Amino acid sequence: MNRNEAIKRIKPHLTKERYEHTLRVADTAIELAGVYGESEEKAQLAALFHDYAKYRPIEELKHWIIKSNLPKDLLDYHHELWHGPVGSILIEYEHGIQDSIIKNAIYYHTTGRAYMNKLDMILFVADYIEPGRDFPGLEEVRRIAKKDLIKTAWMVSRNTINYLMSRNNTVYPDSFYAYNYLTRKIKRKDGLNG
C-alpha cells in the first residue's frame, strides 16, 4: 500500500490534530529508518496506521479484546493502552495488512516490549519525539535519536514509566519488560551507570 492510499484510509478515523500528529510521526519514522537501516516503506506504513484505532468507542475496543486472542489483562488497565493492540488487529481485518513486523510495531507502540526489534523501536521513538511534541527533556531524547536508537528507546521507556508513576498511574507489564530488556542490552554494550 502506498502513502496516498494509506492516508486515504486513515484520515476518516482521526481527528485533525491526530491526523497531523500521524503525518509527523511518519516523517520522523522514515528519517529514523534511513539512519538505522530499516525499511522506510514499512516504517511509513506502521506510522501512518499506528493510531488508527485511537477513536474507536471504548466498548468497541473492549469487544475486540474479548473476541480476539489479545491478552485479557489489558482490560484491567487504562483504555489508552488498548488502541495499539486493537489497531494491529484492525489493520489486517479492515485493510488486509498482514505483515507481522508492521503489526507488532503498532501493537507495542505505546508500551514497547521485551526483545523489541528495530521497527518497534523506530515507531516507539518517533511517536515520542515527533516535532509537534514539546515537554521537558525532549530535546535531549531528540539529540540521542540521531546517534543511538537503543539508547533513545531506553530513554523513552524510562521517561514514560517515570511519568506514569509520578502521577500514581498503573504501568502495563510490557512497559517494564521493554525497560528491563533495553537496560540489559545497553549495560552489555557500554556499561550504563549502575
Binding site for Fe ion (CB under 5 A): 51, 127
* Phi (first) and psi of residue 121, to 5 degrees: -70, -40
On whether the CB atoms of residues 99 and 165 are closer than 8 A, the answer is: no
Identify residue 160 by its one-letter amino acid code.
Answer: T
Q: How far is the CB of 111 from Fe ion (least distance, A)?
A: 10
Q: How far is the CB of 178 from Fe ion (least distance, A)?
A: 15
Q: How far is the CB of 59 from Fe ion (least distance, A)?
A: 19
Q: How far is the CB of 54 from Fe ion (least distance, A)?
A: 6
Q: How buried is 147 (Cβ within 10 angstroms: 0-12 exposed, 13-18 middle, 19+ buried)?
A: exposed
CA dist., res. 124 & res. 109, Å (int): 5
Grid look-up 477513536 returns: 55
What is the helix, strand, coil percentage profile of the chain, to 5?
70, 0, 30
Q: How far is the CB of 17 from Fe ion (least distance, A)?
A: 11
DSSP string, 80-145: GGTHHHHHHHHHHHHH----HHHHHHHHTTTT--TT--HHHHHHHHHHHH-TT---TTHHHHHHHH
Residue 47: CB atoms within 10 Å: 31
Q: How far is the CB of 192 from Fe ion (least distance, A)?
A: 27
